[in-house]
Structure 1
């Protein structure tokens, strides 16, 4: 969805985090483990994306 636009990806990550926080509030207590596992998996995908972009920029610089 964000393509190679890191700023758009950061916006998507912030929206995901806001949505998770809202869902937790609506749930009224801690979310189930499946939700926490999904949060961790999605967060890892964002982290991997950012790492890949840093690696790409290092490859270009060399």
Structure 2
């Protein structure tokens, strides 16, 4: 609900605190798409080529 509300206004939401079950079900950071999402993925891969530092912490796959 929160992310859809912020998206309608052109913003984003970040999960700061939540029960473990909610943290497991919701990405911490707002997933990025398009060119910004690709750039973010490439930067993370350049610093962490093996994907061992916080896998999936940002959003699924990053």
Fold match, TM over 0.5?
Answer: no
Greater per-residue helix proportion: 1
Task: Tell me which structure has the larger Cα radius of gyration.
Answer: 1
Structure 2-normalised TM-score?
0.31
Question: Normalising by structure 1, what TM-score?
Answer: 0.31
